[in-house]
Amino acid sequence: MTKDNNRLRERALFDSLKDRKSGKVWPHHLLQAIDHAGLEQHDPRLQEVFTRLEALREQSQGVPQELGFEEFRSIISLSVLLLERAFKQELVIPDFQEFKKDVTQIFAQAKHNADGEVANYIPQLGRVNPELFGVAVCTIDGQRFKIGDADTSFCVQSSTKPMKYCLALEEHGEERVHAHIGCEPSGLSFNELTLNDKGLPHNPMINAGAIMSCSLIKSNLTMADRFDYVLDKWQAMMGGVRPGFSNPTYLSERLTADRNFALGYSMRENRAFPENCNLIETLEFYFQCCSLEVTANNMAVLAATLANGGVCPTTGVRVLQAQTVQKCLSFMYSCGMYDFSGEWAFRIGLPAKSGVSGVIMTVIPNVMGIVSWSPKLDKNGNSVRGIEFCRQLVNTFNFHNYDNIVGGLHGKKDPRVDANAVRRNLGVDLCWAASEGDLAGIKRLLISGASLDDADYDGRTALHLAAAEGQLEVVRYFLDHGIKVSPKDRWGNTPFDDAVRAGHKKVANLLQTRLEKQAGREIKQVS
Ligand code: GLU
């Protein structure tokens, strides 16, 4: 990007925010515009902006001062590209305020559902307030929204399984990892004492598979360094926020882990582990990773990093390879929701992973990550409110993996697109196809929702353009499909005038005949 280009961008941003009278920008208008786009004050990409604004505020002893262009530039210059996209509504959810409203409504509906029981196989989970419910969203452009108890910490439990698998894959690659872990849904409970016919865990999303992933992660390091490594990766995935650790949960998990020990011994008996694996250390490592603590708000960034192919949206750092994420999402899609996985894929159609603490991490690839947390679970061990929230989410938005299949599903919103811009583009495309005589293109555009009577800023309609270019077939098609025969553009010209002016006699005659017919009908109707 050249310096001149940059300056033009800065100028355009300044002009879009400046006060008409003073020709300057109020700092709070800049802040409002940032907030409106869904970007937040802690966003690492905007730190310079906020630091400089704060410095100015201090300088003026808290009295708001308008910003001239040079001052404005100095504040935004490091974030100009992000701000430009945000203010032009070019982030992945262009109308973030509208999206927030919808999510707020869905949250309120899901909150009504008071069914379910809190997991109580360890006292630490049993003691959590069952009424808590939080949801947080982070888009691949780092737009953030949280509601309810999204800042309360909870234990990740099984929602850590995708990360365990990703770390094993990054270190060893697919072939090595899948020499130890299968790729099929087990069709059985997540901690079922069973292995596949090769004596391996069925997949990485159930306990046996996750224990196996743990055995593969940095096995040459000390226990302390292995755990630090996992923390570092979570931190990078969450945009710099380090997860906490619940020692009581870890101790309880270890104490009540007969089934996980049994799984471990069974896998060892089947020689499923990599060579030199220390089983007890592996299990301890597994319990430690289950005992990480996060908030829905922070974990939403991790989910968004998965949605963004492994690049953290708020820092721009690549944490995982895209291929790793692609494989992980595939397992989340088919095996992420315990015994509800098949029905989840059918009804919700998104990769997700849940945990017995009541968390559900859902990934909408290339769009956003969503984390819901509410401790009451259904008989499958999934959060009741979390499931309810996701059901309503995909009823409202076209987020199900197959919603966009040819023919589409009607009645669902697509928050990814700016509805007005789509309509404008369809209108422009229709005029272009009309002037080119592209009848097949016109039919396609009409199916997509283009409207025949839409006019551009100058009042020019598709019929004007077809007439001016002598596109007889197109004009006939339009007239047969109920288009207004005689719309006037801003200079008062009708399509008939355009056809006459350009010497397209056949088109002019056709329009004239239709006009007369219409007038005759009108006269008949009047008389
Ligand atoms: N710590 C639990 C276990 O390994 C994980 C439970 C879960 O969230 O699925 O049994």
Q: How far is the CA of 297 from the centre of ligand 1 (A)?
A: 22
Q: How far is the CA of 158 from the centre of ligand 1 (A)?
A: 5
Which residue's CA is the closest to the ligand 1 atom numbered 7? Answer: 158
Rounded distance between C-alpha atoms, residue 466 and residue 472, angstroms:
8
Mutate to test the pocket of ligand 1, among 157, 283, 338, 353 (most ligand atoms within 8 A of CB): 157
Q: What is the mean pLDDT of residues 458-481?
A: 91
Ligand 1 neighbourhood includes 355 CB (under 6 angstroms): yes
Rounded distance between C-alpha atoms, residue 247 and residue 234, angstroms:
18
Q: Are strands 144-148 and 352-355 parallel, antiparallel or unpaired?
A: unpaired
Identify the pLDDT of residue 133. Answer: 98
Give tens-digit pLDDT for 135-149.
999 999 999 999 999
Identify the pLDDT of residue 192. Answer: 83
Rounded distance between C-alpha atoms, residue 398 and residue 98, angstroms:
15
CB of 297 within 8 A of CB of 151? yes
Q: How confident is the model at residue 1 (pLDDT cuts 50, 70, 90)?
A: low
Q: Which atom of ligand 1 is nearest to the CA of 257?
A: 10
Identify the pLDDT of residue 500. Answer: 94
Ligand 1 neighbourhood includes 158 CB (under 6 angstroms): yes
Q: How far is the CA of 356 from the centre of ligand 1 (A)?
A: 6
CB of 378 within 8 A of CB of 116? yes
Q: How far is the CA of 142 from the centre of ligand 1 (A)?
A: 30
First to last CA, the chain: 69
Q: Is the dihedral of CA 79, 80, 82, 86 positive or negative?
A: positive
Position 526 pLDDT exceeds 50: no
pTM of the model: 0.83
Ligand 1 neighbourhood includes 283 CB (under 6 angstroms): no
Alpha carbons within 13 A on the beta-carbon side of 212: 30
Question: In the beta sheet, which residues pair with residue 292?
Answer: 245
Identify the pLDDT of residue 527. Answer: 44
Ligand 1 neighbourhood includes 356 CB (under 6 angstroms): yes
Ligand 1 neighbourhood includes 260 CB (under 6 angstroms): yes
Tokens of 94: 């262009």
From 414, 432, 301, 318, select the one nearest 361 (Cα to Cα). Answer: 301
Q: How far is the CA of 383 from the centre of ligand 1 (A)?
A: 14
What is the residue-averaged pLDDT of the chain?
Answer: 93
Ligand 1 neighbourhood includes 38 CB (under 6 angstroms): no
Rounded distance between C-alpha atoms, residue 377 and residue 119, angstroms:
7
Tokens of 158: 């099984």
CB of 81 within 8 A of CB of 39? no
Q: How far is the CA of 156 from the centre of ligand 1 (A)?
A: 9
Identify the pLDDT of residue 14. Answer: 95
Which residue's CA is the closest to the ligand 1 atom numbered 9? Answer: 158
Burial (CB < 10 A; 0-12, 13-18, 19+), residue 303, is buried
Mutate to test the pocket of ligand 1, among 253, 255, 263, 286 (most ligand atoms within 8 A of CB): 253
Tokens of 375: 């401790």
Identify the pLDDT of residue 230. Answer: 98
Q: Which of 50-64, 163-177, 266-280 has the lowest mean pLDDT?
A: 50-64
Ligand 1 neighbourhood includes 205 CB (under 6 angstroms): no
Q: How far is the CA of 421 from the centre of ligand 1 (A)?
A: 46
Ligand 1 neighbourhood includes 285 CB (under 6 angstroms): no
The single-letter DSSP state of residue 274 is P
* 274: Cβ contacts below 8 Å, ≥ 6 apart: 180, 215, 216, 219
Ligand 1 neighbourhood includes 207 CB (under 6 angstroms): yes
Rounded distance between C-alpha atoms, residue 73 and residue 175, angstroms:
51
Give tens-digit pLDDT for 259-297.
999 999 999 999 999 999 999 999 999 999 999 999 999
* b/e code 233-271 from CB counts within 10 Å (16+ = b): bbbbbbbebebeebeebbebbbeebeebeebbebbeeee
